[in-house]
Structure formats: structure tokens, C-alpha cells
Amino acid sequence: MSINIQYFAGESWQNFRRNWVMTFGAVITIYLSLLLVGVFLVTGIVVNRIVKDVEEKVTIQVFLRDGISPEDVDALQKDILADPLVKSVRYTSKEKALEIFSGQMEGSPGILEQMAGNPLPASLDIDLKDPRTVREMADSILKNETFLSVCDRPEDPERSLKYGQQIVDKLFAFTRVIRIVEIAFVSMLATVSLIFISNTIRLAIYARRKEIGIMRLVGASNWFIRTPFLLEGMLQALAGAALAIATLVIVQVTVFPRLKDAVRFLAIDLGTGTFIQISAILVFSGIFIGLVGSAFAMRRYLKV
Amino acid sequence: MLLMRGVNKYYTPGKAALQDCNVMIGAGEFVFLVGHSGSGKSTFIRLLLRELIPSSGQIVVAGQDLVKMKSWKVPYLRRNIGCVFQDFKLLPNKTAFENVAFALQVIGKSKHVIRTQVPEVLRLVGLEDKVQSYPDELSGGEQQRVSIARAFVNRPPLLLCDEPTGNLDPQTSLGIMKLLERINKTGTTVLVATHDRDMVDSMRRRVIALESGHVIRDQDRGVYGYVD
């Protein structure tokens, strides 16, 4: 059977115009739900990048109490170096720490002025051979007797150590909550858009019931009758997806550069490849919603 | 061409719309199906179109068993059956040409086929001057001719007509009947459900009479036969 694409496209476009209010509503709901999916994906990717970034900083910093003797520092340094996991250990004095901190805070001199004296502790910076052993190493340092006697906070030795994992754990706890909220919103909006689409398709079927009756009578195949409606649902969903992608592009162009200026140390940048992937996901989920919505309407209102 | 054997149809249990119906119609016949309103004429037609499935019994149309037929095959059955109704069922926003062309378009016929077959069939029904007219610019008789043209454009071997002259005056009805007769002469089997007494009596064709769901009479060269 030769399928008349021109015919299908014409029929779908006609319905699109006839019911434009309903269509508009359907497009907007799809747009919102897909936009949320998009934001969800973008934040997910950014957070993952940050997590990776932090994890790759395999240094463990051991903060030392003020005024301990250089012999104790030497002893601890030797203990740590003896561990096969360790690549190198560097000593950073209080003065050096302040110097590094001043360098980082160059942009905001106010903070430096408010600091009385030098509150920063001296530290040992430990580089590991393998980033995956951070946790293991941290545990072994915590058990070290020398460490316990020279650490910055003897009452809570855990806090005298600083390593990526701690930050990662905090980040994960935070993003998990956000993710649950987002999933709830997305599924709610997806349901609403399904209902909206199936309603517009129902109206379209109702508006064309006479044609449909004649089509059945003269032996148009079931798929010939159904295709314009499926196509219409898909068109609506694609329009929503296009709007969502356009919004994400605008956000990418306008907001991201400013965000990058504000928090320079975070790697919040989406490559073009990632962006195309996100767009593809949005388009396909849009098509899915459109097809399911119109299929639902046809099951109930289009007996062929 | 058409065979019904022991067909029963119940809409509500215990109340038969059609009961123990046995009918055979050969290829090329012209048959009247007569009976009062509610006698089962429409059920009869709808069973043949497989809009309905019989509660029991066997129906064969154009060599196909309608009871066992899969539902996706039904459209292909209907391409072999032309259909004419009392209310014409034309699309008001399409011209006579477009209404007939629509029937070919939706079964996937090419533009070339449409351009040659539609004018031809419109000439056959005598509407060559009204090709570009919309249904509301046509008289009842002319609208029914368009509807017959649409039913026949695909050259189906079977033409079913449900009260084709129900809305028309006697003079116009006669013209429609003559047209159906001409179509019958091309070899098409024609089944006309009607309660137009004068028409049936003057045409002297085979008559199948229905009363409360039973076939009460089946005679060649018959008459309407009821006393209203």
C-alpha cells in the first residue's frame, strides 16, 4: 500500500489548527515536564562532574596542633611514608598555609582583614598512589598513635583530616533529596501531559467522526485511520520538546557563563556533545509521551 | 456470492433481532430485502458488513467466512462491498469529486487512478456536470447518486443499499433504481433493503421478506406483499 505522507501531514496539521487551545495546553504541559527533565539531567551531569573533580583530589590533609615539636612531625611523616599506599608527604607550615589562603582569597580582601593573627593550622599533605584507597588510608591514619597526639583537634580526630570523600558524601546526601523531589515532579507532569494529549486527541477524533465512519465503510485500513491521530499527538509532544530544548539553550548561553564567574573552582560546563545527548533524550521522551497519550485516546474512543 | 446459514443475532439475551436466517444470493443477482421497521433489515446489512458478528451461524461473503475473520482483515473485506445509505453520508466540506476521490484516497490508490476513475464513475451516475458542486448545492437525488458513485468507484462485486430511496420522492427514486439496475448489469450483485412498495412491485425482482427476525418469504420476481 502506498502511504500518502502528504495526506497524513495535512490531516494532522488541520487538527492542530482546529483545536489550538487544547493543543496549546498539551504543548505547554509537555514543555514544562520535559524542561524539568532537562534541568534534572543538566544538574545531574554538573554534580557528577563536581564529584569526580573532588574525588580526583586524592590528597589527604592532616591538620596539626599549634606548637608541636618538629620531632613529632618528623615521626608522623615517617610513619605515613612507611605505608605502601602513600606516594609522598609534604609539610605545610602555618605561615605557608596563610600564604596559600591569601592567594586564593585575593578577590575578596575583606576576609583577610577580618582574620586576627593566623588561625590556620600547619598540615601534612599526603599524596596517594591510587585515589580509591583514600578511605583506607584515612582510617589507618586515624589509628596512628603519633597522629592522635599531634592532631589539631585531639577530641575529634576525624575532623583533623580532610579528604575528598567527606565532601562527596555531603554532596550525595544533598543531591539525593533533590533527585527524589525532581522525580516526583517529573512523573506528575508526565501524567498530566499524558491526560492532556489523550484529551486533545479525543476531541480530534470526535471532530472527525463522520470522516472516520466513511473511512471504515469504504475499507480504509485501521492504521490508515489511526496514523493522523498518532502523528498529531507526536507533533504536540515534539513542539513541547523543541520549546524545552530552546529554553535550555538560552539558559546555557545566558546563565552558565555568569555561574562560572561566580564559582570559578567548579567545573560547570556542558560540552556540545552532552547537550545534544540531553536534547535527544528530551525528544525521545516527548515522542514517547505523545504516542502513549494518543494511543490511549484511540483505545477508548476510536473503535476500528 | 453471499451465504447465510442458521444465523441468529441477539442484542439482548432471549430477544432475537434475526433468527435462523438461511439465505443464498448468487453472483450478479438483484435482490430486494423488504420488511417493516424493526424486522431485522438493518441487522441483516450490518452482519454482511461485519459491523456485527452473529450470535451463532455462518456467514460467507465473497468467499470469506465473516465469523472466523480476523478484525484487521475487515477493511479488506469492505473494499469488496459498496455501501449506500438513506442519509447519503457525504462529507459537506468536500465537492462531489472529492467525496468520491476520498474513498479511493483512504485505501491508498494513486493520484493517477483517482484522476481517471472518479470522472468515469461520476459520468456513469449522470453527474458529469456537477463534479465541482458541494453536497448542499445538490438535490437529494443527486446526493444519493454521488453516494452510489462513491460506493461503486472501486468496482466492488457486491453493492449493499440500506433504504437508498427512503428520503427521495417517487420520481427521483425511480431514477436511482434505474441506476442500480444499470450497475447490476455490469455484473455487480446488488442487495437493496427497502420498504418502498411501489418500487418493489414495479421492478419484479427477487424479494426476501423479513418479519420480526425471520425470513418469511423468498421468491423470484416477487412483490412487496405486505398489507400495511
Q: Which of B137, B155, B173 is the last residue before a domain boundary? A: B155
* Domain shared by B176 and B208, yes or no: yes
* Residue A1 confidence (pLDDT): 41
Q: Which of A162, A189, A215 is the last residue before a domain boundary? A: A162
Classify residue B119: in a domain, yes or no: yes
Write the DSSP assignment of A174-188 as a string of letters. Answer: HHHHHHHHHHHHHHH
* Domain shared by B8 and B105, yes or no: no
Name which of A4, A214, A219 is nearest B91 (Cβ-Cβ). Answer: A214
* Domain shared by A258 and A150, yes or no: no
Nearest CA to CA, how far is A1 from chain B (Å)? Answer: 6
Report the alpha-carbon distance of residue B92 to residue A236 in Å, rounded: 28
Residues contacting A208, CB < 8 A, separation 6+ = A15
* Domain shared by B167 and B151, yes or no: no
State whether residue B168 is helix, strand or coil.
coil
* Residue B141 confidence (pLDDT): 93
- How many residues does this entry show for chain A? 304
Interstrand relation of B158-162 and B81-85 (parallel, antiparallel or unpaired): parallel
How far, CA to CA in Å, does B179 sit from each of A44, B22, B29, B34, B174? Answer: 73, 29, 15, 19, 9
Using the predicted structure, report yes or no on whether residue A107 has a pLDDT greater than 80.
no
* Chain segment A215-226, per-residue pLDDT in tens: 888 888 888 888
Q: What pairs with residue A92 in β-bridges?
A: A123
* Domain shared by A184 and A256, yes or no: yes
* Residue A164 confidence (pLDDT): 66
* Domain shared by A212 and A255, yes or no: yes
Using the predicted structure, report yes or no on whether residue B134 has a pLDDT greater than 90.
yes
Provide the residue range defining the domain that includes B162.
1-80+158-222
Using the predicted structure, report yes or no on whether residue A304 has a pLDDT greater than 60.
no
* Domain shared by B47 and B118, yes or no: no
**Number of domains, chain B:** 2
Contact A218 B105 (CB under 8 A): no
HEC-encoded secondary structure of A125-147: EEEECCHHHHHHHHHHHHHCHHH
**Number of domains, chain A:** 2
Which one has a higher pLDDT value, A248 or A65? A248
* Domain shared by B9 and B116, yes or no: no
Which one has a higher pLDDT value, B191 or A41? B191
* Domain shared by A37 and A177, yes or no: yes
Say what the ipTM of the complex is: 0.84
Q: Whole-number mean pLDDT of chain A?
A: 79
Name which of B49, B79, B105 is nearest A4 (Cβ-Cβ). Answer: B105
CATH number at residue B199: 3.40.50.300
Classify residue B181: in a domain, yes or no: yes
The percent of residues above 90 in pLDDT, for chain B, comes to: 63
How many CB pairs below 8 A link A and B? 57
* Domain shared by A228 and A278, yes or no: yes
* Domain shared by B69 and B2, yes or no: yes
* Residue A55 confidence (pLDDT): 66
* Domain shared by A10 and A158, yes or no: no
Query: Does residue B97 contact residue B104 with C-beta atoms inside 8 Å?
Result: no
Which of B106, B113, B117 to mutate to test binding with chain A, by most A CBs within 10 Å of its CB? Answer: B106
Provide the residue range defining the domain that includes A205.
5-54+168-301
Classify residue B227: in a domain, yes or no: no
What does the block give as the cell for A297?
Answer: 485516546
Contact B103 A218 (CB under 8 A): yes
Q: Which of B112, B135, B155 is the last residue before a domain boundary? A: B155
Of B162, B154, B125, whose CA–CA distance to B141 is shortest? B125
Using the predicted structure, report yes or no on whether residue B120 has a pLDDT greater than 80.
yes
CATH number at residue A105: 3.30.70.3040
* Chain segment A140-189, per-residue pLDDT in tens: 777 777 777 777 777 777 777 777 666 667 777 777 787 788 788 888 88
* Chain segment B67-84, per-residue pLDDT in tens: 999 888 899 999 999 999
* Chain segment B36-58, per-residue pLDDT in tens: 888 889 899 999 999 889 999 99
* Chain segment A114-125, per-residue pLDDT in tens: 776 777 888 888
Query: Does residue A21 contact residue A128 with C-beta atoms inside 8 Å?
Result: no
Contact B76 A3 (CB under 8 A): no
* Residue of chain A with shortest Cα separation from B82: A218
* Domain shared by B1 and B29, yes or no: yes
Contact B108 A3 (CB under 8 A): yes
CB atoms inside a 10 Å sphere around CB A122: 21
Residues contacting B31, CB < 8 A, separation 6+ = B25, B189, B190, B191, B192, B205, B206, B207, B208
* Domain shared by A180 and A273, yes or no: yes
* Domain shared by B18 and B126, yes or no: no
Which one has a higher pLDDT value, B59 or A185? B59
* Residue A30 confidence (pLDDT): 86
* Domain shared by B128 and B36, yes or no: no
* Domain shared by B49 and B66, yes or no: yes
* Residue A246 confidence (pLDDT): 92
Query: Does residue A4 contact residue B113 with C-beta atoms inside 8 Å?
Result: no
Which pLDDT band, with edges at 50, 70 and 90, does A65 fall under? confident
Q: What's the whole-number mean pLDDT along residues B77-101? A: 92
Reported pTM: 0.68
* Domain shared by A11 and A80, yes or no: no
* Domain shared by A189 and A83, yes or no: no
How far, CA to CA in Å, does B213 sit from each of A132, A185, B8, B53, B210? Answer: 85, 59, 9, 16, 6
Chain A hits for B107, CB-CB cut-off 8 Å, are: 1, 218-221, 224
* Residue B219 confidence (pLDDT): 85
Q: H or E stretch including B44? A: helix B41-48
Q: Which of B106, B133, B155 is the last residue before a domain boundary? A: B155
* Domain shared by B170 and B57, yes or no: yes
Classify residue B228: in a domain, yes or no: no
* Domain shared by A149 and A188, yes or no: no
* Chain segment A234-273, per-residue pLDDT in tens: 888 899 999 999 998 898 888 777 777 766 555 556 677 8
Nearest CA to CA, how far is B171 from chain A (Å)? Answer: 28
Using the predicted structure, report yes or no on whether residue A78 has a pLDDT greater than 90.
no
A172: number of CA atoms within 13 Å, CB side? 10
* Residue A158 confidence (pLDDT): 72
Which one has a higher pLDDT value, B33 or A204? B33
* Domain shared by A49 and A182, yes or no: yes
Which of A1, A216, A218 to mutate to test binding with chain B, by most B CBs within 10 Å of its CB? Answer: A218
Using the predicted structure, report yes or no on whether residue B192 has a pLDDT greater than 60.
yes
* Residue A2 confidence (pLDDT): 46
* Domain shared by A200 and A276, yes or no: yes
Q: What's the whole-number mean pLDDT along residues B86-100? A: 92
Interface residues on A facing B, Cβ-Cβ cutoff 8 A: 1-4, 7, 210-211, 213-222, 224-225
- Owner of C-alpha cell 582583614: A113
The amino acid sitting at B118 is V
Residues contacting B96, CB < 8 A, separation 6+ = B122, B127, B130, B131, B132, B133, B134, B135, B138, B146, B149
* Domain shared by B4 and B73, yes or no: yes
